[in-house]
């Protein structure tokens, strides 16, 4: 028999109070309703035999999920601010905010994994999180509902990696192949991996043909887990050689970590590599599961069905693309003596670092000489990659440039953003 329950999904900081509780006689097939005190529009979801039937919900506002805390939170707000899309949060403890430039948009501050879950459930339409979180909790390959609108927001860089101890039986193991060929791993004694990535971790091992592997999960400080098994080995060897001081140290570490369980390897995010180094772990060749950075992700259903989502996505995408193109560039203005605009342009284009985005803009600088208006000088305007600035200034001087002004760029808008065209075709629009 189908068990059908209608519930109202919770808004972020809501307190939920049951309106009616199921009586024992009707517990198999009852609408169970909860009222939600934080927001006016709740999302009805039907659960049939444990499967969520995701219908587009009746609500008028468009919802964008942003990380509420952690390392992504500040950088995300900074990116939006740099794109003149500042988030207005009346009170930092409030979970709902707005971006005044985008009317009808509600910002929901959530934990990254909850942003992805809520995109899948239909409570959010758009979100900014790390690609690792999208792939782990959205399971993009199995669920075509999530679409990466911008896959490279240029912050939150890290990689999901398999790491093993540097010492003991792993000392000479430097690749995934070598790890998989170790005779130690058998059905009775598999490779024990601890990870918070319980979807991507096992998937990677399976795809790479590692069969004798078991996974356990933990939140945070995963790097300490492999220490126990290998340090035990060191302890025995240390005793043998009577390095008592080292043995005592190992024993203390052992006692500290025993409560954390035992693992041979970890699958976790790595950025600078400091945490791995401090825990005597190493990455191995072929062990990178995913390269990640911040992304703008959307629900396909919302883009197609909910009024306003596509327009807001277009504006955000345009601003992100234009801003991210601009951050790596300076505008350079210089004066140059010349006989005509063409002649000046030729000189500028003879230098490889001065061609700009679409070639230089050259305009006459007029002055009055003997009562007549004349142009002896020309102003040139070009965009120069930040990294090539000094070289460009040197090249400008070589061809007679003077009074060089350099200023940062906020946006470079193209005629059309390539990602927008791709999104429309992805949606079949």
Ligand X SMILES: O=P(O)(O)OC[C@H]1O[C@H](OP(=O)(O)OP(=O)(O)O)[C@H](O)[C@@H]1O
Ligand Y SMILES: Nc1ncnc2c1ncn2[C@@H]1O[C@H](COP(=O)(O)OP(=O)(O)OP(=O)(O)O)[C@@H](O)[C@H]1O
Q: Which residues bind ligand X (CB under 6 A)?
A: 220, 223, 268-275
Could you give the angle at the alpha carbon of 60 between the alpha carbons of 85 and 420, nearest 5°? 50
Q: Which is nearer to ligand X, 269 or 393 (CB)?
A: 269
Stretch that binds ligand Y, among 50-58, 127-135, 229-237, 306-314 (CB under 6 A): 127-135
Q: Which is nearer to ligand X, 273 or 308 (CB)?
A: 273
**Bridge partners (DSSP) listed for residue 163:** 266, 283
274 binds, among ligand X, ligand Y, none (CB under 5 to 8 A by kind): ligand X
CB of 204 to ligand X, least distance (A): 17
259 binds, among ligand X, ligand Y, none (CB under 5 to 8 A by kind): none
70 binds ligand Y (CB under 6 A): yes
Strand ranges (E), 218-359: 265-270, 281-292, 294-299, 329-337
Tally Cβ neighbours within 10 Å of residue 351.
Answer: 16
- Give Cβ neighbours of residue 396 (< 8 Å, ≥ 6 apart): 332, 334, 336, 351, 354, 404
273 binds, among ligand Y, ligand X, none (CB under 5 to 8 A by kind): ligand X
Q: Which is nearer to ligand X, 222 or 310 (CB)?
A: 222
CB of 70 to ligand Y, least distance (A): 2
133 binds, among ligand Y, ligand X, none (CB under 5 to 8 A by kind): ligand Y
CB of 129 to ligand Y, least distance (A): 6
The continuous run of DSSP H or E covering 213 comes out as: strand 213-217
**Bridge partners (DSSP) listed for residue 187:** none
Long-range contacts of residues 302-309, Cβ cutoff 8 Å, at least 24 apart: 302/56, 302/62, 302/122, 302/125, 302/126, 303/125, 303/147, 303/423, 303/427, 304/427, 304/429, 305/56, 306/56, 306/62, 306/125, 307/60, 308/62, 308/104, 309/62, 309/125, 309/126
φ, ψ (nearest 5 deg) of residue 425: -70, -35
**Alpha carbons 180 and 164: distance in angstroms, whole number:** 12
Q: Which is nearer to ligand Y, 167 or 199 (CB)?
A: 199
132 binds ligand Y (CB under 6 A): yes
Pick from 108, 102, 88: nearest CA to 43: 108
Q: Which is nearer to ligand X, 264 or 268 (CB)?
A: 268
CB of 219 to ligand X, least distance (A): 7
CB of 49 to ligand Y, least distance (A): 29
Q: Which is nearer to ligand X, 157 or 390 (CB)?
A: 157
Binding mask 289-328 toward ligand Y (x if CB under 6 A, else -) reads ---x------------------------------------
- Helix 309-327 × helix 418-426 angle, to 10°: 150
Task: Confirm if 100 and 313 have CB atoms less than 8 A apart.
Answer: no
Q: Which is nearer to ligand X, 158 or 362 (CB)?
A: 158
3-state secondary structure 383-405: EEEHHHHHHHHHHHHHCCEEEEE
Q: Which is nearer to ligand X, 31 or 261 (CB)?
A: 261
**Alpha carbons 288 and 204: distance in angstroms, whole number:** 9
122 binds ligand Y (CB under 6 A): no
**Alpha carbons 126 and 66: distance in angstroms, whole number:** 9
Q: Which is nearer to ligand X, 267 or 399 (CB)?
A: 267
Interface with ligand Y (CB under 6 A), residue from 130, 168, 287, 401: 130
Binding mask 150-189 toward ligand Y (x if CB under 6 A, else -) reads ------xxx-------------------------------
268 binds, among ligand X, ligand Y, none (CB under 5 to 8 A by kind): ligand X
Q: Which is nearer to ligand X, 110 or 395 (CB)?
A: 110
CB of 154 to ligand X, least distance (A): 17
Interface with ligand Y (CB under 6 A), residue from 9, 45, 72, 85: 72
**Alpha carbons 56 and 125: distance in angstroms, whole number:** 10
Q: Binders of ligand Y: how many residues, by CB under 6 A?
A: 15
72 binds, among ligand Y, ligand X, none (CB under 5 to 8 A by kind): ligand Y
Give the DSSP per-residue string, 314-341: HHHHHHHHHHHHHHTEEEEEEEEE-SSH
Task: Confirm if 160 and 313 have CB atoms less than 8 A apart.
Answer: no
φ, ψ (nearest 5 deg) of residue 108: -115, 120
CB of 98 to ligand Y, least distance (A): 23
The residues binding ligand Y (CB under 6 A) are 70-72, 111-113, 130, 132-133, 156-158, 269, 271, 292
């Amino acid at each position: 028999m189908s068990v059908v329950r209608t519930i109202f999904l919770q808004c972020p900081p809501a307190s939920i109070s049951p309106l009616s509780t199921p009586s024992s006689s009707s517990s198999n097939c009852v609408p169970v309703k909860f009222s939600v005190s934080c927001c006016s529009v709740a999302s009805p979801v039907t659960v049939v035999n444990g499967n969520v039937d995701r219908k587009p919900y009746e609500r008028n506002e468009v919802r964008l999920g942003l990380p509420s805390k952690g390392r992504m939170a500040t950088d995300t707000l900074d990116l939006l601010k740099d794109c003149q899309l500042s988030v207005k949060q009346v009170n930092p403890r409030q979970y709902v905010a707005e971006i005044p430039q985008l009317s009808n948009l509600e910002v929901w501050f959530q934990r990254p994994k909850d942003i992805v879950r809520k995109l899948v459930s239909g409570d959010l339409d758009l979100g900014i999180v790390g690609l690792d979180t999208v792939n782990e909790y959205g399971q993009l390959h199995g669920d075509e509902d999530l679409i990466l609108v911008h896959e490279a927001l240029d912050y939150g860089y890290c990689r999901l990696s398999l790491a093993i101890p540097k010492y003991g039986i792993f000392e000479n193991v430097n690749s995934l192949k070598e790890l998989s060929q170790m005779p130690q791993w058998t059905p009775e004694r598999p490779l024990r991996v601890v990870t918070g990535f319980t979807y991507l971790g096992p998937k990677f091992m399976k795809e790479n043909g590692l069969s004798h592997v078991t996974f356990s999960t933990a939140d945070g400080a995963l790097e300490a887990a492999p220490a126990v098994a290998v340090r035990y080995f060191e302890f025995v060897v240390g005793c043998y050689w009577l390095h008592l001081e080292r043995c005592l140290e190992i024993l203390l570490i052992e006692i500290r970590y025993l409560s954390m369980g035992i693992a041979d390897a970890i699958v976790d995010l790595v950025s600078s590599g400091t945490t791995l180094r401090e825990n005597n772990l190493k990455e191995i060749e072929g062990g990178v599961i995913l390269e990640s950075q911040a992304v703008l992700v959307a629900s396909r259903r919302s883009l197609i069905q909910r009024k306003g989502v596509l327009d807001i996505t277009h504006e955000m995408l345009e601003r992100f693309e234009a801003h991210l193109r601009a951050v790596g560039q300076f505008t350079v203005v210089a004066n140059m003596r010349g006989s005509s605009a063409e002649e000046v342009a030729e000189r500028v284009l003879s230098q490889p670092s001065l061609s700009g985005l679409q070639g230089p803009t050259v305009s006459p600088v007029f002055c009055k000489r003997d009562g007549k208006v004349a142009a002896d000088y020309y102003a040139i305007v070009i965009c120069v990659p930040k990294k090539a600035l000094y070289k460009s200034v040197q090249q400008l001087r070589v061809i007679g440039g003077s009074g060089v002004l350099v200023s940062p760029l906020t946006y470079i808008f193209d005629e059309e953003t390539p990602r927008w065209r791709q999104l429309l075709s992805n949606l079949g629009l």
